[in-house]
Chains A and B, each alone.
Chain A
Amino acid sequence: MINEFPTGYNRHEIVKKQRPVNLQLNTISFPPSAISSILHRVTGVAMFFALIFVIWAWAVSVSSPQGFADVQQLMGGVIGKVVAIGTVSALTYHVLGGIRHGIMDMGHWEELESGNLSAQIVIGLWIVLTIAIGVVLW
């Protein structure tokens, strides 16, 4: 590589100049491992904001019988159910993805095929569990 550098540039300038930028978004493919990665990120960020509701509900419900009754009523309504199912579903995915991360940290499933297969399993398991959670909580 080093002798391919045109003269007159130092290495750092070359590194900067040669960064590929791909704006042709429709040519980027999304294998299961990529979907799994972005879902882990989306669920992590989503949970951070969902915690505003969860911690509020916990604080109110544990502080007084009236607060408990209010939250119970909220949990019985459509908004409460959607938020609860969404939060538990996000947590479920994030934990499944987190476990997959841990296994990969230990050196497994790092090949193209096994990485994509484990990603598919995690996504499949998540969909099944989300349906189960939805049925139980609705």
Chain B
Amino acid sequence: MVTNQASIKRDGVQDWVSLRATAVIIALFSFYMTWFFISTPQITYEVWRELFAGLGMKVFTLAALISVMLHVRIGLWQVLTDYVKPAGLRASLQYVLNLIAFAYVAVGLFVLWGV
């Protein structure tokens, strides 16, 4: 396995698998939401809220958000390493982007808690 200073404690194989595993979960969630929008004749507040009130959907939504966080952690790292060469700048950008990704999960947790 390749280990170098650009990928501390991570390697390409692990990233490759994680990227695809999270992609499958996000895709399933997207298909489910698409099906919901298409199959629900009239989406009212009650219907919309009820969708996320069940435990199953809470878990599914959270899993999708966590998957997005992990997916972009790897995906955006790939993009940044291609275009941003100075290590300090890249680390800063990476930090901010990861923070945004984490905020997605935090907001999701907060919202799902209250539904």
Contact = CB atoms under 8 A, between A and B. Distances in A.
Interface residues of B, number: 24
B68 interface: yes
Interface residues of A, number: 20
A91 interface: yes
Contacts of A45: 76, 79
B27 A98 contact: yes
A95 B30 contact: yes
A62 B49 contact: yes
B99 interface: no
B45 A48 contact: no
Interface of B: 20, 23, 27, 30, 45, 48-49, 52, 65, 68, 72, 75-76, 79, 97, 100-101, 104, 107-108, 110-111, 114-115
Which 7 pairs show the lowest CB-CB distances between chains A and B? A68-B45, A59-B111, A65-B45, A48-B72, A98-B23, A55-B104, A44-B75
